[in-house]
Every structure is written in C-alpha cells, then in structure tokens.
Amino acid sequence: MSSLKRRRWFWLLLIPVILAACPALAAEWKVRETEHFIYHYLEPWRATEEELETQDYHYRRIASALGVEYPGKIRFFWYPGIAEIQRHTGLNWEAFVRRDEIHATVAVIPHETVHVLMYVINPQGLGFLNEGIAVYLGDEGLLGPPLARRPVDVVAREYDLEGRFVPLRQLSGVLSLRGELAHPEADAAYVQSASFVKFLVERHGMSRFVEFYHQANPDNLSEVAAAVYGRSLEDLEAEWLQALRLRGLETARVTLGLGVVLVVAAAVRWALRYRAVQLRTVGRPGRDRRAAGAPARTEMARAIALLDDVKQYAPERPTRSDVGLDHLRLRGGGAPH
C-alpha cells in the first residue's frame, strides 16, 4: 500500500475519533440573530420571542447604565440543558462567560450580559468588582439561590455579624479563579463584593465606578482608589462597613417600633371590643336602653374598623431604609456565575 493511501486511511479513521471526543465539532449548531445578540443554539430550541426581546431589553438597560456599547453583536451559545452544556464545555454550570461570549441554558441572563460589557471596559478587570456590578445591575441588587433573592445588603449584614468577611484586598484571589465556588470563602466574597460595589455606585455614582474598574488591577488598587475616589481602599472599605452596620441598626429600630405599634393597636382593639360587648349586654340606664346604646355601639364599630385599617397598612409604612422588612424572607439555593 502506498504512503498516500496509508495517509488517506489514517485520516478516515481519525476523523470519527475526533468527532466523538469533541461533541461540539459534531453538533449541528443553528444561528438566530436579534438586535444585540447572535444565538448559536442546539435543538430543541425552546426560547420564546418574548424571552429574546427581554434579553435585548436588558442589554439596552445595562449598556445605558454603564455608558458602554459592545462593538457588534454578542455571541450567545444556548444549550437545551445542563448535560449539553457540560458535554460541550466541560463545565457543569447553567450560565457563564468566556471572554465576551455567553454560554447558558436560558435565554434571559442579564447577569452574564454585564460581564460581557465589563470585558469591553477592561478585559483584565478585577473579579470581585466584576461580580459585584453583575449582581447590582444584572440581578438588580438581589442575590438569588442559594440566597433566595434577598436584597444584597440584608445578606451582607448577616455575613458581617457572623464574622465571615475577608479584607477587600483578598477578594480578587477568591473570585479570580473559574473554580472559585469551591473556595471556602467564596460565598462570603460574592456577597461582600456585591454589597461593596452597591455602596460605591450609590454613594459616588456609576461613572466613577466605571473609571475605577477601567484602571484597577491587583497591583495598583490603592493608587487607583485614591485617584478616583480621593481615599484609599481601606478608607472606602471602612466607610462601606460603617454604612452597612448603621443601616442594619436603623432597620432593627424600625422593626421594633412597628412591633410595638402593632401590639398597642391589638390591645386597644381588644379593649374596644370588650367595651362593645359590655354595652350590648348591660346597656345604659334609662327607659330605652336600646335607643341610648345605639350611638355608642356605632362609634365603637367605627373605632374598631379604623384600627383594622391601621393594622392592615402598618407593615407597609415606608422608611428611610432601602431594605425594609425584606430580612424576614426565606433563604434558598443557587447556581454559579
């Protein structure tokens, strides 16, 4: 057999092996475009038109907030399920980004969209700032499972009370590796990053944060913080923790005060009901007890109805705290991003 024929047979035998070892090469990817995304997907395609429009909306919302646009359209690899995404990428995650590409099992994923736009701002950006802004903008300041969609500051105060936070300088080391969720401090670092970035944006503005992210790296963090915010990273960290703890005290006072109001209202309501029963049973002296007692019973009924209204609307009383009573919500479970 000639060498040419041997090479031909070699490649004919090798190609099936390569395709079996690399399912992504054998997969029949289909393509669909929207205003801001190019979807590469595998059948069965289950994304609805409403979901595609919603993802485009989130892109516009996030890009406007950051003041940055992606050059062209974002490549979005969509998989029917977690088994397919693991087979093609080797990662057992429902959603993640590779540089400026999104890989996900869902069609609406604003969190990962933030990561892509932050890549445009700084391809070597710090992991903890990247995750923090993704929670703030992509998840709208709420932490999902395993934290059951609660306001980030509420969860952060719990972690702070438990002594689980680490110095900000160490956060990049925890969240910089793609296997960060196996790190023993990963949960705390994720919460801490989200709360700190929320503080920076709401206290000093989004444009300053974007500039901070654009310039910062692990070696110049303090210098860039001083240049952008006029104070060191340690000073910013101290301000954030102070604000977080003061807000927690305010929330506790509001909750306690509301509890006292409800207890007093219940006591007064019980006293009014007791008095109304007495009036119905005993009545007033005179020739016509029923006629004399009717106005009093009417007034009692109005008072009881008024107290019912107070009890109904008291829990919705607005406060200065941006978290209100959300700390009463339950906790749950979540997926890595």
Adjacent-strand bridge partners of 33: 38
* Residue 84 is assigned to a structural domain of this protein: yes
* Residue 66 is assigned to a structural domain of this protein: yes
* Residue 196 is assigned to a structural domain of this protein: no
* Residue 188 is assigned to a structural domain of this protein: no
Domain containing 65 equals 16-121
Of the candidates 273, 122, 102, 325, the one whose C-alpha atom is nearest the C-alpha of residue 210 is 122
Stated pTM of the model: 0.66
* Residue 242 is assigned to a structural domain of this protein: no
8 Å CB contact between 63 and 82: no
- Model pLDDT for residues 189-224, shown as the tens digit of each residue: 888 999 999 999 999 999 999 999 999 988 888 899
Alpha-carbon span 99 to 162, nearest angstrom = 35
8 Å CB contact between 108 and 55: yes
- The pLDDT of residue 203 is 95
- The pLDDT of residue 251 is 47
Domain count, the chain: 1
* Residue 103 is assigned to a structural domain of this protein: yes
User: Starting from the edge strand earliest in sequence, which strands make up the sheet with 101-104, in order?
Assistant: 30-33, 37-41, 74-78, 101-104, 95-98
- Model pLDDT for residues 45-82, shown as the tens digit of each residue: 888 999 999 999 999 999 999 999 999 999 999 999 99
* Residue 34 is assigned to a structural domain of this protein: yes
- The pLDDT of residue 169 is 81
Alpha-carbon span 67 to 327, nearest angstrom = 33
- The pLDDT of residue 142 is 84
CATH number at residue 113: 3.30.2010
Prior bond to 44 cis, omega within 30? yes
- Please identify every stretch of the chain with a pLDDT value under 70, giving residue numbers as ranges: 1-27, 144-148, 172-185, 248-268, 270-271, 274-337
* Residue 249 is assigned to a structural domain of this protein: no
- The pLDDT of residue 253 is 45
Residue 29 has, within 13 A of its CA and on its CB side, a CA count of 17
- The secondary structure of 221-248 as a DSSP string is HHHHHHHHHSS-HHHHHHHHHHHHHHHH
